[in-house]
Amino acid sequence: MVAAINKPVTAPACGVADNAAVAKSDKSTNELAAATGTVAEGVAASLTPLLADIDTDSAAGRDRYFMRLAQAAAEEARAAGEVPVGAVLVRGGEVIATGFNHPIGGHDPSAHAEMAALRAAADKLQNYRLPGCELFVTLEPCLMCAGAIMHARIARVVFGARDPKTGACGSVVDAFANTQLNHHTIVLGGVLEEECGAALKSFFADRRRAAREARAGLAEPGAAERMVDGRDDPGTRWPL
Catalytic residue among 31, 75, 114, 140: 114
3-class SS of residue 59: helix
Q: Which residues, 6+ apart, have CB-to-CB distance to 51 below 8 Å?
A: 11, 65, 68
128: how many CB neighbours lie within 10 A of its CB?
14
Q: How far apart are the first and last CA of the chain?
A: 36
One-letter amino acid at 170 equals G
**133 marked as binding residue:** no
Residues 6+ apart with CB under 8 A from 221: none
- Is 220 an annotated catalytic residue? no
Buried b (16+ CB within 10 A) or exposed e, 67-78: bbbbbbbbbbbb
| Residue 112, annotated as binding a ligand | yes
Say whether 105 sits in a helix, a strand or coil. helix
If 0-12 CB within 10 Å is exposed, 13-18 middle and 19+ buried, where does residue 31 land?
buried
107 annotated as ligand-binding: no
Residue ranges at the known binding site for Zn(2+):
112, 142, 145
Q: Which residues are catalytic?
A: 114
Known binding-site residues equal: 112, 142, 145
